[in-house]
Copies of this chain bind each other. A is one copy, B any other.
Amino acid sequence: MATERRRATIYDVAQAAGVSKSLVSLVLRDSPSVSAPRRAAVLAAIKELDYRPSQAATALAGGTSQTVGVVIDDYTNAWFVELLRGLQEGLASAGLRIAVSDRTLNTHVESDPLDGFLSTRVEALVLATEPTPAMRFSSQIPVIVVGNRATQVPGADVASSDDRLGTRQAIEHLVSLGHRNIGHIGGGGGSSMLRLAGYQEAMKAAGLDEHVVSVSELTTEDTGYRCTQRLLDEDPDTTAILAANDSMAMGAMAAAQAAGLSVPGDLSIIGYDNSPLSGTHLLHLTTVDSRNHDLGLHVAQQVLSRLADPGRDAQRVLLEPLLIERGTCAAPRRP
């Protein structure tokens, strides 16, 4: 029944509750200046009519979308999930919702995911991706860049994990186990460069020779496999490998297996990201946790403080990563 009836509006609710339209609006926005009985009457009418405020009308009349746009690279990248969760948690109390745009998903449709967000009039823009030229000049709205990026966005806040420190910790762990022949496999991008730098610093500090292999910009399981093959080929005495991320570490494990090397007996491996993958029985991978959930929470704070004070100086948040010891590291057989 009532299938053909049009959607209930605020007028219908007011009429059903026997109050004014303004009062309904006040109840909707949780105004304290509404008496309990009237509030109850309005809520009852809302429920009765299955009324839901039109987001379009609310946004247009209120002049605010109450939405934060988030651009990510690709849904398949697991680190976004925890980031989004933290971000949403931190924003929810302020009544802000998030809208997510996958860059690869939109690539065939719009020139830039930014377009949609600007039409939506998002309150702020969170870029968990390498900023495109258009994103560098988004002006008007607050921008928070998440992660270590090659491109700078003028005036934007930045929040990231201290990738350089993370790989330094990983190398120190391997060195403390007695490893001296430690290779690094990596790819391109801002994070990869910092992780490489941390590796180099720590190796230098320990008085050890570097051995870095990279076969492409990508940091996939396949490139990890190929990098490891080359690394083991170039230096068969390698006893440990630090990968730029868990996917590459997974590839390293496959290459070790193919070479007849046991992990961690013959070869120790450390990943990066503490992805769901790394916690599996099959990998049980020692890795570095970037604390993406915490990062999301910090980003939420940056969004809120920026909205409260649009004129404030740009902030930088740098989180300390955590080494997660699991089963892929051991003392080398031949130190």
Q: Which residues of B contact A55 (CB under 8 A)?
A: 56, 116, 119-121
Q: Which residues of B contact A120 (CB under 8 A)?
A: 55-56
Contact with B along A247-269 (1 / 0, CB 8 A): 00011011101100000000000
Q: Is A204 in contact with chain B by the CB < 8 A criterion? A: no
Q: Which residues of B contact A254 (CB under 8 A)?
A: 280-282
Are A89 and B115 interface neighbours, CB within 8 A? no
Contact with B along A213-234 (1 / 0, CB 8 A): 0000000011001000000000
Q: Is A60 in contact with chain B by the CB < 8 A criterion? A: yes
Stretch in A78-86, A164-172, A177-185, A190-198 with 4+ CB within 8 Å of B: A78-86
Name which residue of chain B comes closest to A77, CB basis.
Answer: B75
Q: Which residues of B contact A250 (CB under 8 A)?
A: 280, 282
Per DSSP, are chain A's interface residues mostly helix, strand or loop, or mixed?
helix
Name which residue of chain B comes closest to A76, CB basis.
Answer: B81
Name which residue of chain B comes closest to A224, CB basis.
Answer: B281
Q: Which of B52, B75, B140 makes the CB contact (< 8 A) with A81?
A: B75
Are A121 and B84 interface neighbours, CB within 8 A? no
Q: Which residues of B contact A119 (CB under 8 A)?
A: 52-55, 58
Q: Is A308 in contact with chain B by the CB < 8 A criterion? A: no
Are B84 and A75 interface neighbours, CB within 8 A? yes
Q: Is A59 in contact with chain B by the CB < 8 A criterion? A: yes
Q: Which of B81, B105, B257, B282 makes the CB contact (< 8 A) with A85?
A: B105
Are B60 and A221 interface neighbours, CB within 8 A? no
Q: Which residues of B contact A27 (CB under 8 A)?
A: none
Tally of contact residues, A, Cβ under 8 A: 54
Shortest Cβ distance from residue A63 to the other chain B in the assembled complex, whole angstroms? 9
Q: Which residues of B contact A74 (CB under 8 A)?
A: 81
Given contacts A88-B109, A89-B108, contact A281 B251 (CB under 8 A): yes
Q: Is A208 in contact with chain B by the CB < 8 A criterion? A: no
Q: Which of B53, B81, B255 makes the CB contact (< 8 A) with A281?
A: B255
Q: Which of B53, B75, B92, B139 makes the CB contact (< 8 A) with A108?
A: B92
Name which residue of chain B comes closest to A81, CB basis.
Answer: B75
Shortest Cβ distance from residue A128 to the other chain B in the assembled complex, whole angstroms? 13
Q: Which residues of B contact A282 (CB under 8 A)?
A: 221, 250-251, 253-254, 257, 282
Are B76 and A276 interface neighbours, CB within 8 A? yes
Are B251 and A52 interface neighbours, CB within 8 A? no
Q: Is A65 in contact with chain B by the CB < 8 A criterion? A: yes
Additional 4 contacts, C-beta under 8 A, given A55-B56, A251-B282: A7-B121, A56-B65, A88-B106, A222-B280
List the interface of chain A (C-beta within 8 A of B).
Answer: 3, 7, 52-60, 65, 74-76, 78, 80-81, 84-85, 88-89, 92, 97, 99-100, 102, 105-106, 108-109, 115-116, 118-121, 139-140, 221-222, 225, 250-251, 253-255, 257-258, 276-277, 280-282
